[in-house]
Amino acid sequence: MEALAHQAARLWGFAPGQITLAARRENVVWRAEDARGAFALRLHRFGYRSDTELISELQWMESLVQGGLNVPRPLPSHSGRLVEEVDGTLVDLLTWLPGTPIGRQGELDVADRTGLCRDLGALLARLHGISDDWAPRPGFTRPAWDRAGLLGDAPLWGPFWDNPGLTAPQRATLLAARVKADAHLAGIEGALDYGLIHADALSENILIHEGALSLIDFDDGGWGVRDFDLATFLMRFLTAPDYPQMRAALLEGYARRRAVDPATLDLFILLRALTYPGWIIPRLSEPGGEERSARAIRTALPLAEAYLANR
């Protein structure tokens, strides 16, 4: 992987000594530094995104930068391409944003939690507004977190009801919730705020620097209902003692765009939770995979049971 990274770095004019490994997550990210500044060299997970999808992601991110949002900016290689391929691996380069994640794994490393949620709501409102004002180029392609992408026979993150950690009764519960949620969503989707969303606004992907928030990791960004972005953040904090205050503050910040219907938000918190038992299936053999799978099931099941009980 190091040799591959060195080869990729040269396409943007970096010497091997100017890059250091920063993170191994879905993508392998190297920090590259020279007189131009600091950058994130992303080596993408094989097969997760096509070059067309990645180019579309980077074009969208550039539009957000142009709209005044603090997100990483893509830089073309010396050949003028936003995405390069090196030995079958897709690679791109983004500006490195200053700051630190606001937290990890459902924890927030900030003193004013409600204030942060209010600011995040405002940031997501701006992201959605700028995205609506932008006209994607022909051929723009990103995943769709729509009914089919969430509840269809082949959801974007896999069939959550097939997670091998589910018991037969648990699987039946998730399948019943799937049927009910699909009918529910079918009845309201025409009235929902649909457009480009980040789709992964976890605390790890939200940076804070000198009191200002920024978003990174648009890997899963695409088309979807805007409530999904709010739900993605809130789902991690459902058991927090101050969850009601955090939720109210997030919606207060987002209110500059529109008021959020509580029942619709609850539906999308369930839908977000249902994605994770499917997401982990191909990653069960990775370090911590079994524990993450069990956590995903523990989160999704009570939400599904409560949803089914609510008539």
Average pLDDT over residues 218-231: 98
- Model confidence band, residue 107 (pLDDT cutoffs 50, 70, 90): confident
Q: Write down the pLDDT at residue 26.
A: 84
The amino acid at 72: P
Looking at the predicted structure, is the pLDDT value of residue 221 above 80?
Answer: yes
Question: If you average pLDDT over every residue of the chain, what do you get?
Answer: 96
Looking at the predicted structure, is the pLDDT value of residue 213 above 80?
Answer: yes
Q: Write down the pLDDT at residue 181.
A: 98
**pLDDT per position as a tens digit, 265-295:** 999 999 999 999 999 999 999 999 999 999 9
Q: Write down the pLDDT at residue 258.
A: 95
Q: Which residue has the tokens 């709209």?
A: 67
**pLDDT per position as a tens digit, 157-197:** 999 999 999 999 999 999 999 999 999 999 999 999 999 99
Q: Write down the pLDDT at residue 25.
A: 84
Least confident of 14-28, 60-74, 116-130: 14-28
Looking at the predicted structure, is the pLDDT value of residue 127 above 90?
Answer: yes
Average pLDDT over residues 62-75: 97
Second-level CATH architecture of 101-309: Alpha-Beta Complex (3.90)
Average pLDDT over residues 58-83: 97
- Model confidence band, residue 105 (pLDDT cutoffs 50, 70, 90): confident
Least confident of 95-109, 112-126, 134-148: 95-109
Average pLDDT over residues 52-61: 98
Boundaries of every domain in the chain = 2-97, 101-309
Give the chain as a DSSP string. Answer: -HHHHHHHHHTTT--GGGEEEEEESSSEEEEEEETTEEEEEEEPPTTTS-HHHHHHHHHHHHHHHHTT-----B---TTS-SSEEETTEEEEEEEPPPSEES-STT----S-HHHHHHHHHHHHHHHHHHHHH--PPTT----EESHHHHHSSS-TT--GGG-TT--HHHHHHHHHHHHHHHHHHHHHGGGS-EEEE-S---GGGEEEETTEEEE---TT-EEEETHHHHHHHHHTTTTSTTHHHHHHHHHHHHTTT-PPPHHHHHHHHHHHHHHHHHHTGGGTTSTTHHHHHHHHHHHHHHHHHHHHH--
Looking at the predicted structure, is the pLDDT value of residue 1 above 90?
Answer: no
Q: Write down the pLDDT at residue 253.
A: 98
CATH 3.30.200.20 fits 2-97, yes or no: yes
Backbone angles phi, psi at 216, to 5 degrees: -125, 175
- Model confidence band, residue 64 (pLDDT cutoffs 50, 70, 90): very high
